[in-house]
Amino acid sequence: MTEVTQPAGQSDFREGMDFLDTRGQRLVILWLPLGIIMLVLLFPFYWMVLTSIKPDSALIDLESTNPLWTWNPTLKHIRILLFETAYPTWLWNTMMVAISATVLSLIASVGAAYAIVRIRYRGSQWIGAAIFLAYLVPPSILFIPLAKIVTDFGLFDTPFALILTYPTILIPFSTWLLMGYFKTIPFELEECALIDGASRWQILTKIILPLSIPGLISAFIFCFTLCWNEFIYALTFISNASNKTVPVAIVTNFTDGDVYRWGSIMAGALVGSLPLVILYAFFVEHYVAAMTGAVKE
Partner 1 sequence: MTDVGVKITDPDRVGGFSWERLKTNRNWLSFWFMLPAAGFLILFLAYPLGLGIWLSFTDTRIGRAGQWIGLENYIWLWDDSVFWLSVFNTLLYTIVASAIKFGVGLYLALLLNMHMRFKAVIRALVLIPFIVPTVLSAIAFWWIFDTQFSILTWMLQEIGAIAPDYQINWLGDATLARASVIFANIWRGIPFIAITLLAGLQTVSISLYEAAVIDGATRWQMFRHITYPLLTPIIAVVMTFSVLFTFTDFQLIWVLTRGGPFNTTHLMATLSYQRAILGGYLGEGAAIATAMIPFLLAAIMFSWFGLQRRKWQHGEGND
Find the binding residues for partner 1 in span 102-161 (CB under 8 A).
Answer: 104-105, 107-109, 111-112, 114-116, 118-122, 124, 127, 131, 134, 136-149
DSSP string spanning 143-160? HHHHHHHHHHTT-TTSHH
Q: According to the binding rule CB under 8 A, does residue 25 interact with partner 1?
A: no
The dihedral built from the CA positions of residue 69, 75, 78 and 84, taken in this order, carries a sign that is negative
With beta carbons less than 8 A apart as the criterion, state whether 279 and 224 touch: yes
Nearer to partner 1 (CB atom), residue 34 or residue 129: 34
Of residues 31 through 50, those in contact with partner 1 by CB under 8 A are 33-34, 37-38, 40-42, 44-45, 47-48
Among 85, 89, 168, 253, binds partner 1 (CB under 8 A): 168
**In sequence order, what are the residues at sequence separation of 6 or more whose Cβ sits closer than 8 angstroms to the Cβ of residue 87?**
81, 246, 249, 268, 271
Of residues 233 through 252, those in contact with partner 1 by CB under 8 A are 235-236, 246-248, 250-251
With beta carbons less than 8 A apart as the criterion, state whether 178 and 249 touch: no
Q: 262-281 mask for partner 1 (x: CB under 8 A)? A: x--xx-xxx-xx--xx--xx
Of residues 65 through 104, those in contact with partner 1 by CB under 8 A are 67-68, 104
Q: 192-231 mask for partner 1 (x: CB under 8 A)? A: --xx-x-xx------------------------x--xx-x
SS3 at position 138: coil
- CA nearest to 213, candidates 128, 110, 111, 288: 110
